[in-house]
Amino acid sequence: MHTDVNALFSALWQDYIKMTPSAAKIHQLLGHGAPIINDHIALRTFNIAKVNLSVLAKHFTSIGYVDSGDYKFEQKKLIAKHFEHPDPKQPKVFISELLVEEFSPELQKSIHGLIDQVDVSATTADNFIYSGRHWDVDKATYQALLVESEYAAWVAALGYRANHFTVSINDLPEFERIEDVNQTLKQAGFVLNSSGGEVKGSPEVLLEQSSTMADKVVVNFTDGDVEIPSCFYEFARRYPMDNGQLYTGFVAASADKIFESTNAMM
């Protein structure tokens, strides 16, 4: 496992921009050459012992991250945790897992079939959380998963990698309001996730979030290539709590809508 936080996030970022070419353009657009501070990344997995949330979390807890919050998404049949580093300048990490047993026997069989192909030693390798897919999967399996759970289909097609990075609006020199960030993105031709409104959250819940709709990438299935949604870019504006410190958690109702950034656009 990585021993250096910066090296880990640098490797995650390199993999992410291959899947999300728009992210590099957004960097230019919002940062004007200044460094962009990453608020958090998110990772997705299944609650199967070999690859569950705690397996992914070890890649972060081994370099000082601490479990800092629990979340439940009833409708999407997910649970999640977020992790923070003692150095508040380091990105937060949001890891979710699909509750596989809550789905149809067909989905359960498909997912277990994929995870059976994972070599357990791969899960502790330095690169596991940006190593992509560890299994063969065909188009029919992907499509069947998509009908039941967009999340399951996404992980089946794309494997282990950052599902999104997040621009910290609080650290952008030229923007203060999330609405202005959104407007700049739209004027440049980026499509935003409008599920539940373009801005999720509010100053009252101490967090406002928005995101682009995922880029499209061509994925190799065993029986051919298909262009599917890959990863997206998120934007977060945090507000101070009563003690004056910025809120560092997440809002489940907002995160629920952010998950939909990887839905195929209608």
Tokens of 218: 């061509």
Decide if 122 contacts 97 (C-beta within 8 A).
Answer: no
Looking at every residue in the chain, the average pLDDT score rounds to 95
Mean pLDDT of 60-68: 97
Q: According to the model, what pLDDT value does residue 17 have?
A: 95
For residues 206 and 202, give the distance between their C-alpha atoms in angstroms, rounded to a whole number. Answer: 6
Q: According to the model, what pLDDT value does residue 265 have?
A: 54
pLDDT at 32 over 90: no
pLDDT at 20 over 50: yes
pLDDT at 230 over 60: yes
Percentage, residues of the chain above pLDDT 70: 99
Query: Quick one: pLDDT band at residue 156, thresholds 50, 70, 90?
Result: very high
Query: Quick one: pLDDT band at residue 34, thresholds 50, 70, 90?
Result: confident
pLDDT tens profile 191-212? 999 998 999 999 999 999 999 9
Query: Quick one: pLDDT band at residue 256, thresholds 50, 70, 90?
Result: confident
Q: Which amino acid is at 201?
A: G
Write out 67-110 in H/E/C secondary structure. EEEEEEECCCCEEEEEEECCCCCCCEEEEEEECHHHCCHHHHHH
- DSSP state, 173? T
Question: What's CA 119's distance to the chain center, in Å?
Answer: 23
Q: According to the model, what pLDDT value does residue 249 have?
A: 93
Q: Crossing angle of helices 139-148/105-115, nearest 10°?
A: 130
Percentage, residues of the chain above pLDDT 90: 89
Q: According to the model, what pLDDT value does residue 2 have?
A: 77
Query: Quick one: pLDDT band at residue 183, thresholds 50, 70, 90?
Result: very high
pLDDT at 159 over 60: yes
pLDDT at 119 over 90: yes
Q: According to the model, what pLDDT value does residue 266 have?
A: 36
Q: Which CATH architecture group holds 5-259?
A: Roll (3.10)
